[in-house]
């Protein structure tokens, strides 16, 4: 069972978008907490 290349690309791009959105949301929602923990 071979996976089509465009299916792999779609999953890969969706994963990148999800990670980027999650990182952006976390940064926007809790910037003071992240800065406090970093120091």
Whether 11 is covered by a domain: the verdict is yes
Residues 24 and 16: their CA atoms lie apart, in Å, by: 12
DSSP of 1-39: -PPPHHHHHHHHHHHHHHHHHHHHHHHHH-HHHHHHHH-
Quick check: 34 and 26 in contact, CB under 8 A? yes
Whether 23 is covered by a domain: the verdict is yes
Q: In total, how many domains does the chain have?
A: 1
Provide the domain limits for residue 16: 1-30
User: Residue 37 has what pLDDT?
Assistant: 60
Per residue in 1-39, pLDDT (tens digit) is 677 888 889 999 999 999 999 888 887 777 666 666 655
């Amino acid at each position: 069972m071979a996976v089509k290349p465009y299916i792999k690309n779609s999953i890969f791009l969706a994963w990148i978008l999800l990670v980027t959105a999650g990182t952006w949301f976390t940064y926007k929602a809790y910037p003071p907490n992240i800065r406090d923990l970093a120091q």
